[in-house]
Amino acid sequence: MAGARRGRAWVAVGLAALLAAGPGAATARARDQADVPAALRWLAQAQGADGSWGQVNKLAITGMAGLALLASGSTPQRGPYAQHITRALQFVLAAQAEDKKALQHASSGYSAIHNHGYALLFLTQAYGEGGPLDERLRRAIEGGVQATIESQRRNGGFSYFLYDRPPPRNDMWREDEASTTISQIQALRGARNGGFQVARQALEQAGAYISRSQHPPTGGFHYSIGSTPPRVSFIEGDDRPTFAITAAATAVLHALGTYQGPALERGIAYMEAFIPPSRRKTPFFYYAHYYAAQVMHLEGGPRGERWMKAIRAELAARQRPDGSWPTDPEDTLAAGDSQLLNTAWALQILLIDSGALPIHER
């Protein structure tokens, strides 16, 4: 695995150098192409002095921003964003709790488990290219995997809370839900792909949870099957699955090794109603398309290529002049944090074909 990572890195560094270069380094872009180099520069310049990104949920945002820079081809040791990635890794490593397991930070907001999962995924994708950091990454990933497994609920899903211990607040959703479960599945898959031992039972139970979450009438996926009654959508009063949760759940079916079959096909069929430019309202647009791109990238062929061409054109149309992508009025994040996450997600979509992230390999 480490050898394969090193081989990819030499190819990816050339890509990173091109992406980081100025506008004159490449041929003129078509109007339907996003300016990836400008987006990478904007994201790198937004990094804080402590190596993090964002104000609230710093671990989650830093994890996703770090993944975007890794996707460009830079590694902790090579490429124009090597120092940015290294500082981000050091920030995440410093956030590992005293029990040497969970990744926690005082800025974590509503969901400690999302912060842990996104940060852990980032560590797994950098491991093997960290040089002097690799030993620290190894220990942190081993502990992080254990924290995830200890946070799993009996039904295979995950709540918003590490170790499934809710805080005293009574206004928080206390049941399992799909997006929290998806964040942990991807982190566990990233660790397993990196050669780490991951309990098979934990993955099987999580996979069964996602399979049970499919909405029989539509093929989409429930928000939560642990609530009573099961909640179809995170939107109050809506009885149809959301595109966002359906795309994310379908993506982790791939991550768990389901590359064909009725569950996958029905999930993709439900997603296809939202191909850009869709007239349907799309809450959490960038989150949804981050996962949808993973599905369609692996799907390939005319179906996958049609989708990827459409989302690239849509992202080009939405990109701001400074290289970033705008805030999402449908999410609950502060404006600056929303802009950071959306830019990180958009970049990973646009760079998915580079093959720089092991999590996106076919």
* pLDDT tens track for 142-179: 999 999 999 999 999 999 999 988 776 666 677 899 99
Tokens 């506008």 sit on residue = 23
330 confidence band (pLDDT: 50, 70, 90): confident
Q: Does residue 94 have a pLDDT over 50?
A: yes
Mean pLDDT, residues 82-105? 94
Looking at the domain covering 2-22+33-360, what would its CATH class be?
mainly alpha
Across 109-118, 279-288, 303-312, the highest mean pLDDT is recorded for 303-312
Domain positions in the chain are: 2-22+33-360
Instruction: Classify residue 334 as exposed, middle or buried by CB count within 10 Å of its CB (0-12, 13-18, 19+).
Output: middle
d(CA 285, CA 333): 13
235 confidence band (pLDDT: 50, 70, 90): confident
333 confidence band (pLDDT: 50, 70, 90): confident
Q: What percentage of the chain has pLDDT greater than the value 90?
A: 74
d(CA 325, CA 53): 15
Query: What is the per-residue pLDDT across 17-30, written as a single tens digit (0 to 9) for each?
Result: 445 444 444 333 45
φ, ψ (nearest 5 deg) of residue 103: -95, 115
Q: Higher model confidence: residue 258 or residue 48?
A: 48
Residue 203, number of CB atoms within 10 A of its CB:
20
Q: Does residue 50 have a pLDDT over 90?
A: yes
Stretch among 332-336, 337-341, 356-360 having the lowest mean pLDDT: 332-336
Sign of CA dihedral 263, 264, 265, 267: positive
Tokens 């997600």 sit on residue = 345
Q: Does residue 242 have a pLDDT over 60?
A: yes
Are the C-beta atoms of 122 and 188 separated by less than 8 Å?
Answer: no
φ, ψ (nearest 5 deg) of residue 281: -65, 135
31 confidence band (pLDDT: 50, 70, 90): low
Q: Does residue 82 have a pLDDT over 80?
A: yes
Tokens 């009996």 sit on residue = 154
pLDDT averaged over every residue in the chain: 89
Stretch among 160-164, 215-219, 233-237 having the lowest mean pLDDT: 233-237
Q: Does residue 220 have a pLDDT over 90?
A: yes
Mean pLDDT, residues 231-254? 89
Q: Does residue 112 have a pLDDT over 90?
A: yes
d(CA 13, CA 71): 10
d(CA 162, CA 72): 31
Q: How confident is the model at residue 281, as a pLDDT?
A: 74
Q: Higher model confidence: residue 236 or residue 194?
A: 194
Q: How confident is the model at residue 1, as a pLDDT?
A: 44
